[in-house]
Amino acid sequence: MKTFRDAVRDSDFVITAQLPLGPGTTAEDLRQILATLQPVVDAVQVSDNPTTKPHMAPLAAAALSLQAGIDPIVHMTCRDRNRIALQSDVMGAAALGVTSLILSRGEKMPGMHKQRIKGVFDIGAKRLLATAQAVAANERLISAPGFFLGSNVTVIDPPEGWAAEGIDNKAGAGSKFVQTQPCLDIVALRKYMAALVARKALERVSVIVQVPLLQSLQSIDELQGARRPLLIPPALVERLRHAKDFCAEAEAVCSETLQALPAIPGIAGSNITCPGDPVAVLRVLTAAFGNLGRSS
């Protein structure tokens, strides 16, 4: 089975999609989703309860993905588990055959949950990366070359004299790739990537851009309320707000963004986030790149 690591190394542009996991997602639902996505993606991303609405355990979803012949990129955050649970999950991922992880501190609990659910944050992302590296160094637990580790990065408008220390720190902690927050702002992305390239900040890490397939105007508000700001130009918001068919227009916006990304120096690929029907992911990828045959 081709892995995400293979795709980053061998492909000009990598395509992944985040699994639309929800509280009601069953194993059979996930098998159907995986069958839909397999022909057009290099890997799938398995989230770690980002909205605080519990879904199938990431390692369970990863196991089903591997059974379906699709490489899973498993997210692990420090918000909901202490270091023992996180260490156990890293070793569990190795036992399953997972080779790619995105490790992060995790977002704070939304305001409506603060009185009922407490974040753990026993360790930070740097310590979690060190844990994964320690597991990867033990060839009894995982075959060489071990885990392909990633973390998150926030696209900003780089100020004059910006040193891109965040990327350097993540690479120094063991990250081989970084993934941006949801982004539909090509102008901002070009400026950010140009600054990274100019500072030779991409010699040790690859950049994956998250591209959201928006479901409603409400989803824009929800994403904009996250800690890492959604990058969507006001003109695009107005375009979507006045569209006769929001979903069709959102698919067009997603496809246009995907088409523009391969031409931006330094971008290794994209991750499409779509909480709805995965058939929509097929439509936007076909519109952006034509017929794809990526599975092997």
Task: For residue range 23-76, list pLDDT tens digits in order.
Answer: 999 999 999 999 999 999 999 999 999 877 889 999 999 999 999 999 999 999
Question: In this model, does residue 293 exceed pLDDT 70?
Answer: no
Cβ–Cβ < 8 Å for 287, 255:
yes
Cβ–Cβ < 8 Å for 17, 272:
yes
User: What own/partner pairs with CB < 8 Å and gap ≥ 24 does 231-239 have?
Assistant: 231/155, 231/181, 231/182, 231/183, 231/184, 231/185, 231/188, 231/189, 232/183, 232/184, 232/185, 233/184, 233/185, 233/187, 236/184, 236/185
Give dist(CA 223, CA 115) in Å, integer: 22
Cβ–Cβ < 8 Å for 228, 257:
no
- Residue in the block written with tokens 């290794």: 268
Cβ–Cβ < 8 Å for 156, 192:
yes
pLDDT digits (tens, 9 = 90+) for 145-195: 999 999 999 999 999 889 888 899 999 999 999 999 999 999 999 999 999
**Per-residue confidence band for 111, with pLDDT thresholds at 50, 70 and 90:** low
**Per-residue confidence band for 119, with pLDDT thresholds at 50, 70 and 90:** confident
Structure tokens at 90: 């890293």
Q: Which of 64, 71, 63 is nearest to 30 (CA)?
A: 64
> Range with the lowest mean pLDDT among 63-67, 204-208, 228-232?
228-232
pLDDT value at residue 296? 47
Bigger pLDDT: 110 or 152? 152
Predicted structure pTM score: 0.94
Provide the 10 A C-beta neighbour count for residue 121. 15
> Range with the lowest mean pLDDT among 114-123, 153-162, 241-250, 258-267?
114-123
Q: For the chain, give the mean pLDDT.
A: 92
Could you tell me the domains of the chain? 4-289 (3.20.20.220)
